[in-house]
Every structure is written in C-alpha cells, then in structure tokens.
Structure 1
Amino acid sequence: MESANSVGTCDRQLEGPPRVPSQRSALKGEVIALKRKRIVDAARRLFYEKGYERTTLDDIAARLEVTKQFIYSYYKNKTELLHEISMQCIGECLKTQSRILAGKLSIPEKLARIVDEVAQVIISYQAHTIIYLREEMNLDPEIARTIREERNEFDHRTMKLLKEGMRNGDFHMVDERITARCIGGMLVWCALWYRDLGVLAPTAIGQLISQNVMRMVGHHEYKTAKKK
C-alpha cells in the first residue's frame, strides 16, 4: 500500500509545477494594457481638444505627468496612437452588429436593434469618431484603407439584411444598397451633432433613430424589440 506521502508526491507530479509564472505573466499583461489605455485616453482627449497636428508627445506626457520615454515604451510615435484611436469605434460597431445578427431575432428586430445599439456605441465613442473623420488624411494609407474596408463591411451586412427583409416582404424600399449607405451615414453623423446636454439620453436617441430607420425602410408596424 502506498503511503500518504507517496500519493501526495505522485499527485504533485501529475499536477506539474506551480502556475505562478503564468499568473505573473497574466498580471503583467493586465498592467501593460492598463498603461496603454491611459496613454491612449490622454492622447484622445488632446487630439480632440487641440487637433492631431498641434498635439505633441510632450503634451501627452505632461497630461499624464510622466516622461516621454514612458510613452515610447508602449508606442513608437504619435501616429501609432492616432491609428489605435481611429480604429476603436468601427471595431466596436462591427462587434455589436455581429452579435445581433447572430441572435434569434426577426429581420426587422435585428435591423432595429443594430441601429439602436450602434448609435449608442458611436455616441460613447464620439471623440474617437470625430478624430478619425477630422484626421483621416494623417493616417497611414494602409490603416485608412483598413478602416474604409471595415466601414464597407458594416454597410454590406446591413445591405444583406435589407435585401432579405425585402424578399420576405418586411421592408419596402427602392434600392437596398443606397439605403444601407444612408443608414451608415446617419449613424456616423450622431458623433457630429450629439451634445451631452441632458435633454435626451443616448438610449433614447438610439431608439428614436431606430424608429426613423424602420419607417425609412417601410416597416411602419415595428415596435421596439425587448432586449434579452
């Protein structure tokens, strides 16, 4: 019969070495992500307030109360910060759209929910969107192309949903391609006119834009889908 000590030794051999290094690695990754986020947040505020070209890395370092070398530890230059800021909003919009399209809602409910929630995403990423629209000419051509492709992908998915809705008799419009572009443009413009004055919350704005879009596509009977 094996002794308790031998069994314990065997169990430890099966379990392998302690996972302290992996935990440390995970913690280090979280710390790096937090520091990068702080840098991006400071850069975003300054790009929004002063413009990209008038903002220097010294300005960003001063806002954070760190040295410029601290920023260089995580970002090569100011352009890299602009790239990250510019790509964040469209990335979140595509994630939101993908999640809703994968759900078990009707076609009209999917469209309404996409417009509602993406409008709120764009409002929450208002500064990112305005910086992108204002500073697109300062983006690396490859990054600018990637963002345009992602925006086109958003519109393409919307167009497919509209086409399917027309086929089912849910929607009535002249051209689903133009309508999809109009919806995308309407959503982007939220960032340009929205002001946090306390009159309407982003949730209310999302619902109102969604209702207008449903009328635009000829689905007047639509009622706001209950969120699950």
Structure 2
Amino acid sequence: MVHTTQLPAKLRQEVASQISERLVPPAPGASVPKAEQWVLNFGTDAKTSPMKLCLAESFPIWSLGLDAIQAHRSGSETALFTGYWHHQIKYGDTAIRYARSRSDHAMAKMTVTELGGETTANKIDQVITWIDSNVSSDAEARLLLVPSFGIVAFWLSAPPDNDIVVADRPAYYAGDILLQHMYDFDNFVGLLTQLPPSAGVPNRQQSRP
C-alpha cells in the first residue's frame, strides 16, 4: 500500500495550530481554535470527524529542475528535497484548502509559509483517491513539483521502481501530459524533453504546429 513519511505528532500539532490561526482570524474577545480541535491522524479525519475542519495528508515536497530535464538525467537521482511539506486541509472528507510549511534542518520545527485554494487541493485529493484505488505497491508518496513546466505530481518511490502520477499541469500540455496516469520516472523526464517549458506559453502557442 502506498504510504508517506509521517510527521511526528508534535509537528502536526504545530502545523495545525498555525493553519488554524490563519484560517480563522479571532474576533474581538474570541479565542483562536486550538490545535487539539484538529484531527491530526493520517487517513482518519473523515471517519472520526465527518463535519470538522481537519489536517489530512502531509507529503514532503521534491523539485525537479530544468537543467536535469534538459540533460535527460535520471529524474529519481536528480530531484531534490526542498525542505518544504504539503498539507491537505479537509472539511469532513472534502478537500477545501492546502498549506505548505518549511522544516528546519533537524526536523524539530515547522513554519507554515503558504495557504492555497480549493482547486489545487481538490486535484491533489482526486489523485490520492486514484492512487489508493489503482496502485498496490508499497511505494512512498512524495509531492513532486516541476516549476519550469508548472506541473504538480506525485512521485511514487519504491526502488528500483519510480513512477509519476500527474495531479495538475497547464492546459497547454493537456494533449501531451495525462492526468491520473502512471509514468515511469525516466520516461516522464524523456517526455518533458520533447516539450517546451511553460514560460511564455501564449507566444509559443501561436507558433506551435
């Protein structure tokens, strides 16, 4: 079964508390919801608190740079851990937001740096559901960003096997890059070498055959 690196309970509480403070600004005289009100156990939020705001899955964020793609080097060997984490936020079983946090070198402290919207959270949640239904390997799930192509994907790492499932990409690539489809990591890098980076898409779109 696909799994992800688990954050210690202390860090999950730390992240949940920071998200809570950002999502629910305190009214005069009111207290900010405490971290204890958040469901922090991976995969159990919808079952234990069907109508509560929950901190759901968390994934380490890795990044694949343009240099590695253009050199067609093995993606699984050149992708870098960014030091950031992605967190899904749910109301019951519905993904409503996501957050990003940064860890220190010792993984002793987490700082929430970003809150994102429902669209991306939903797309990631759909791929999580797809992976749960279609992938039986004991792979570790990592969130992979490919900034030069605007791609958000899952990297399923089970050496020697490394696979990619894309959650989101610019509409420009709709005919080239499939969503909810399993790619071998190196084949995925090979596919990207055949495509132009996403910067300046409107200009390239006019000249693309």
Fold-level similarity (TM above 0.5): no
**Which structure is richer in relative contact order (CA contacts within 8 A, separation 6 or more)?**
1
Instruction: Give TM-score, length-normalised by structure 2.
Output: 0.29
**Between structures 1 and 2, the one with greater strand share:** 2
**Between structures 1 and 2, the one with greater helix share:** 1
* Largest Rg, 1 or 2: 1
